[in-house]
Structure 1
Amino acid sequence: MPNDSDLTMSELLKDAPKNWGRWGEDDEFGALNFLDASEALRGVASAHSGKVFTLQTPVGTDKGDPVTLSRHGAIRRQTVDVNSFRTGDRDINPGGSKWADDYFEMFCQGTSQYDGLGHVWYDEQIYNGYSAETTAGGLSKASVAPVGRHGIVGRGVLLDMARYRDKEYLDRFETFGLDDLLECAKEQGVQIEKHDIILIRTGWIPSYFHRDPEEYFHPFSEPGLVYSKELVEWFHDMEIPNLVTDTMGNEITFDPNNGFKLLLHAALMRNLGVTMCELVMMDELGDDCAKDGQYTFLYAAAPIVIEKASGSPVNPIVVK
């Protein structure tokens, strides 16, 4: 969906709130700065039963992986196995032990992953006003590495939009906004609080594993959150540190109101420093929350520390 107006992202967001300089001119953590020790303990206090859920989407599956069309799925190669010893390619260890080994190749954002704050920009400036030139050859500023070193621990809140709309998964092109999020929370009986980590379930990524890939990808447009001035101001006022979704893009692929792509990445990540986590699986968590009525929990994640990378794989953990 092309941009069918003369409006630019810079013009649309000219009066939007920013957190640039809020934590100093050298900051690379953004809104994760809100997740201090007291927020980690608030997350711990929201765990009651000890039930554990991991949210990573599997990689290297026989069906392939649900990644954007500009990427390919993970490739795993076996380098050592039982046949290596039968053929004599490997020597048996002293004492008789043998081993298996393998090699793995994938895009840094080819599975459940965190974005670095410099991942998306406009007007030749990334988060905190750093020049876009700092992305040349790798992100020397606001890469995902500081996110991995910082870690993310706090109180998570699941907003189950698929269940709220009585669907297994939302449709391609299907949107929701701030009012929908707040009504979903109200129906679930949960109060969103300042500094909460927001998890939104659409059912989209899990649906890949029981759908025809051709139908899943064509035409390609995910469901998702759509931009509004009120939504951005709410994220700013609530000091939301982290948005987590079960889609590849964290937002509707193309904004239906202007044709922009990655508009919320610009308004939330680039301007407010909200860290984004994409491509996770939430169906098991959603089912359990619907059963016991508990939609808040301890959320913890730490992407792999890859220096200068724009994104990095992660397996988030939820403890209820």
Structure 2
Amino acid sequence: MRTTGELSEADFRRLYRRLRDTSPGGAARRGALDTITGEHVRAAVREVRSGRTVSLASPVNTRTAPDDPEPAEHRLTSPVGGRPRGSGLEFARDRFAMNVHGDVDSHLDALCHVVYDGTLHGGVPAGDVLSPKGASALSVDLARDGIVGRGVLLDIPRLHGVPWLEPGAQVAAEDLAAAEERQGVRVGRGDILLVRVGHRLRREELGPWDVAGARAGLHPTAMEFLAEREAAVLGGDGNNDSAPSAVHGVAFPVHVLGIHAMGLHLLDYLRFEDLAPLCAREGRWSFLCVIAPLRLPAATGSPVNPLAIL
């Protein structure tokens, strides 16, 4: 596990071009989602044994915190004042609003989320797609039929015998490969790769902190592991990117490589604290995974409640 290992911007751009040119999702219509075929889905269904379902989402946060200055807003709109009349028919109704790409709530990043050098994934000019009304292409609507496939959880703190990685730690490709070997599982084409760094557990036990300055995540070179294995989706219990960034001048290099170069939909700020102990007890780290974003045709992302079915 690395705590340092900075890349120059020139080295990063070379890595970017290599992943863009070799990743299976680099030129696909739906990005790396096109690696999930019907055969992959049928095989993923065969992962189900007990039929137990586990949520991989964190509870939606509605309180201001160091990592969430603009929390989700939820309020009851009727009965007015929360007081029913006491007779006749009434409906309890509410209103909900969220900053989808915040640093606490679980969400899916669409392929139009990252603008790099003025373009989106596939070299699409960002100015031709993005407007105040939303995105006319590469939006979360690409995943409107859901993402269903084989999920694989790699537990990096478990590999190193700690409850969580400290903020600033960087997960290398070697860590991912070592976790595979230790857990007896192998990531393959079309898999939904979930990487636990323990971010959520640390927040729950020690309280929130300013994650913009320090958080555990993947080192940019770890994305070569995903490209070699031809993964379809990357998800983490943090932002997937570490902070401080490992690349001078690029704040979110994993997002740039994953979304922009490789066509990966990213899942940020998931919660694995129910799933990881269950996988450890059962001695298996793969399962059927179902991700259903909201039908938001022009959105750059969506809140999600992914499910693992074991």
TM-score (norm 2): 0.87
**Displacement after TM superposition at 1:233 (Å):** 3.6
**Displacement after TM superposition at 1:190 (Å):** 1.3
**Partner of 1:123: helix, strand, or coil?**
coil
Which of 271, 290, 313 lines up with 2:303 in the alignment? 313
**Displacement after TM superposition at 1:234 (Å):** 3.2
CA gap of 1:232–1:169, structure 2 versus 1, over 3 A, is closer
CA gap of 1:120–1:254, structure 2 versus 1, over 3 A, is farther
**Partner of 2:279: helix, strand, or coil?**
helix
1:55 partner letter: L
Written as runs of structure 1 = structure 2, the 5 A alignment for 1:165-314 is 165-213=160-208, 216-217=209-210, 220-228=213-221, 231-247=222-238, 249-256=239-246, 258=248, 260-314=250-304
Unaligned runs of 5+ in 2: 1-5
C-alpha separation in 2, matches of 1:6 and 1:267: 13
**Displacement after TM superposition at 1:45 (Å):** 0.8
Residue 122 (structure 1) aligned with residue 116 (structure 2): yes
**Partner of 1:13: helix, strand, or coil?**
helix
2:125 partner letter: S
C-alpha separation in 2, matches of 1:32 and 1:39: 11
CA gap of 1:291–1:120, structure 2 versus 1, over 3 A, is same
Partner of 1:156: 151
Aligned residues: 300
Which of 136, 153, 158 lines up with 1:140 in the alignment? 136
Q: Deviations over 1:261-300 (max 9, x none)?
A: 2112111211110110111110110011111111010001
1:237 partner letter: E
Residue 22 (structure 1) aligned with residue 27 (structure 2): yes
Contact persistence 2:107–2:301 (CA under 8 A): yes
2:181 partner letter: K
CA gap of 1:175–1:275, structure 2 versus 1, over 3 A, is same
Partner of 1:13: 16
Q: Pick the structure with greater CA Rg.
A: 1
Contact persistence 2:75–2:94 (CA under 8 A): yes
C-alpha separation in 2, matches of 1:241 and 1:120: 17
Partner of 1:102: 94
Unaligned runs of 5+ in 1: none
CA gap of 1:304–1:68, structure 2 versus 1, over 3 A, is farther
**Displacement after TM superposition at 1:200 (Å):** 0.7
Question: RMSD of the TM alignment (CA)?
Answer: 2.7
Contact persistence 1:118–1:142 (CA under 8 A): yes
Identity among equivalent pairs (%): 28
Contact persistence 1:74–1:106 (CA under 8 A): yes
C-alpha separation in 2, matches of 1:190 and 1:20: 23
CA gap of 1:16–1:34, structure 2 versus 1, over 3 A, is closer
Contact persistence 2:7–2:247 (CA under 8 A): no
C-alpha separation in 2, matches of 1:22 and 1:77: 43
Q: Which runs of 4+ in 1 moved over 6 A?
A: none
**Displacement after TM superposition at 1:66 (Å):** 6.9
Q: Deviations over 1:127-185 (max 9, x none)?
A: 112101112322111111222x1311111111011211222221000111111001011
CA gap of 1:283–1:43, structure 2 versus 1, over 3 A, is same
